[in-house]
Amino acid sequence: MPKTRLLLADDHAVVAQGLEALLKDVFELVEIVHDGRSLLNAADTLRPSIGELCLDHDVSGS
């Protein structure tokens, strides 16, 4: 059975790395992003099955 495609978004790189280590055997991690603009672009392009999101609410990318 294919793994569920996961887009991981966290504005703290260390947290994202930890989550990647925990989840990489269970999910197909399609991309890890660190800001809202990248999240929107990746979700539109990669079409993940699910996403894990923990970002500041600013989507301007600044």
Tokens 């079409």 map to which residue?
47
State the Cα–Cα distance between residues 37 and 9, nearest whole angstrom.
11
Tokens 């392009």 map to which residue?
45
* 55 vs 22, more confident: 22
Res. 48: pLDDT tops 60: yes
In this prediction the pTM is 0.82
pLDDT category at 30 given cuts 50, 70, 90 is: very high
